[in-house]
Amino acid sequence: MAAVDTARARARAVLRLRGRAVAAAALPAACAAVLLVGRFTGRIGAAGSPDAPLWDGIRWAVGAVAALTLLLAALVARSHRRAVPPVTPAVPLTRADAPELYRLIEELADRLEVPAPAAIALTPDCDSWLEEPHRRGRAEPGAPVLVIGSPFLWWMRAGELRALLAPVVAGTAAAADPEIAAARRWIRTLDAALGDRHRGPAALVDRVNRRLLGGCREHSAELEHAVAAWASEQAKAVDYGLRIAAQQQVGLAYAGWDRLLTRVALPAWRLGRHPSHLNAGVVAALTELSRRDRLADGYENRLGDRPACDLLEEPGLIDTRVSLLAAELLHEEPAGGWQQLDWEDYPEQVVDRGWRESAAALQAALGDDRPHTGPALDKLLARLAAGEAEALAAALAGRVARAAEVAPPLPPVRGGRDLLVEHLTATVCCAAVDAGTASPGLDWLDGPVLLSRAAPRAELAPAVAAAAEAGQDGPLRAWLERAGARLERPVRLSG
């Protein structure tokens, strides 16, 4: 119970600070009222008394301070009324979307003897929390929304998810406490009211809000720390042993999700495509990780348990909605809007198309802007062997930088040498695909890959690096010969 007492004590400290702020705003007006009443009753500076001029001056001064203070207080109050507390973008789940998940959460809340969350939402992240409800930009009391990281539903088993969410759901008890809820609303309002204004009355309002928020900051941190301890203590009675195993799966899910986004989803986003089943993809990525590195030992044993995504009525539809939200949050939306992409279309729509766009950019850097032709590899390799790599890298970096200024979906500009290696690799992959001995493919951990029957993929990267960085084109020519690519033949730049 120590954590409960600490949380409530910190909440009262925040509310006392709010009360002192209101009192400070009202004090000059109260003093002015007392002085004015004293003047009319003749008790303070009565008319005709020797000290009447002095008291009249004091009354005018205090009245002016009271007016300015009330004006500032009104402006601060208006900033609070207009404040819009931030709401984390998430995909809402209605009871019709996930009746079994709702039942699981409600049964969990009943076992913990805490109020059930008002609703459930999914976020494209590996985290879970309670979010206070907001209406019309103002925080109001009510049961919080349970926000669940979507990768957890697809990777974890139903029992693991319940164990993982127990401490989160236990936090609804604190959210239902009137003092804690009021203190949190006050802090959220102050935080949302802050602006970036440096002149005029608005700057003064910001200064007041910052001072108030600064005074609450230590109490707020201690409040949340105590609430977390309180919730953790409550949750120990439910699935405590399974929670240890579930926490291990959290780290694994995070690693797979991060790699899927950066290696697999990002190349698609750059081309204006959003893979529609990212959460199903993370399962494939983690399964592959288990097969390669044995970091997910025991995964096969878990397959017999029910996956948490089975608690959804239509997992595929929900996955599509979450995947689109991930694209919107993590990348610039293309000018033409997002195009949905199924995993089976990834090699053609992302891998092959991306390679050919990179090959076209390299062709343009070579000084040949003719569409639908380009660079013949023998001429390109000859220029690299002649020591023109530095000039080509600079020209390529310049073109990519100019394109990035007008097309946000393009990747951030990197060093010229890195770009040259990347674009040369893409051009070589296009040549191998055109030769009919290789095809574009998807690796769940590495993203776009070349699937070649004739030439080992592992030998391609060092051969490209030798040509681009040292002008040694022999290894790359040998690799292309094994792949059956004709060096004198222009690389096709369209799919």
Query: Following DSSP, what letter does each residue of 337-380 receive, concatenated?
Result: --EEE-GGGHIIIIIIHHHHHHHHHHHHHTT---TT---BHHHH
Within a 10 A sphere around the Cβ of 456, how many other Cβ atoms? 10
Tokens of 414: 């990197």
pLDDT at 409 over 50: no
Q: Tell me the average pLDDT across 245-274.
A: 93
The confidence score (pLDDT) of residue 86 equals: 84
**Terminal-to-terminal C-alpha distance of the chain:** 66
Q: Rounded to whole angstroms, how far apart are CA atoms 263 and 354?
A: 13
The confidence score (pLDDT) of residue 410 equals: 45
Strand partners, 146: 120, 130
The confidence score (pLDDT) of residue 136 equals: 39
DSSP assigned state of 437? S
404 pLDDT band (50/70/90 cuts)? low
pLDDT at 274 over 80: yes
The confidence score (pLDDT) of residue 43 equals: 77
30 pLDDT band (50/70/90 cuts)? very high
Query: Under a CB-based contact definition with an 8 Å cutoff, are residues 263 and 316 in contact?
Result: no
Q: Rounded to whole angstroms, how far apart are CA atoms 102 and 239?
A: 18
- Find the range with the poorest average confidence among 34-43, 95-104, 325-334, 436-445: 34-43
The confidence score (pLDDT) of residue 138 equals: 46
pLDDT digits (tens, 9 = 90+) for 433-476: 999 999 999 999 999 999 998 888 889 999 999 999 888 999 99
Helical ranges in 236-341 per DSSP H: 240-259, 266-270, 278-293, 299-302, 315-330
DSSP assigned state of 157? B
pLDDT at 200 over 80: no
Q: Tell me the average pLDDT across 382-408.
A: 80
pLDDT at 414 over 70: no
Within a 10 A sphere around the Cβ of 20, how many other Cβ atoms? 12
pLDDT at 119 over 90: yes
The reported pTM is 0.87
Rg value, the chain, Cα = 32
Strand partners, 442: 448
User: Which one is predicted more confidently, 87 or 47?
Assistant: 87
**For the chain, what are the domain ranges?**
344-482
Q: Tell me the average pLDDT across 323-351.
A: 95
DSSP H/E element including 57 = helix 52-82
Query: Under a CB-based contact definition with an 8 Å cutoff, are residues 400 and 415 in contact?
Result: no
How buried is 86 (Cβ within 10 angstroms: 0-12 exposed, 13-18 middle, 19+ buried)? Answer: exposed
Q: Tell me the average pLDDT across 407-435.
A: 80
The average confidence (pLDDT) of the chain is 88
Q: Pick left, alpha or beta for residue 368 (phi over 0 → left; psi -120 to 50 → alpha; otherwise beta).
A: beta
Amino acid at 163: A
Query: Under a CB-based contact definition with an 8 Å cutoff, are residues 261 and 447 in contact?
Result: no
pLDDT digits (tens, 9 = 90+) for 36-86: 888 878 778 777 777 778 888 888 999 999 999 999 999 999 999 998 888
The confidence score (pLDDT) of residue 137 equals: 41
User: Which one is predicted more confidently, 305 or 62?
Assistant: 62
Tokens of 279: 């959460």
Measured CA to CA in angstroms, residue 219 lies from 18, 224, 481 at distances of 12, 9, 69
pLDDT at 381 over 60: yes
Query: Under a CB-based contact definition with an 8 Å cutoff, are residues 240 and 111 in contact?
Result: no
User: Which one is predicted more confidently, 286 or 197?
Assistant: 286
pLDDT at 297 over 60: no
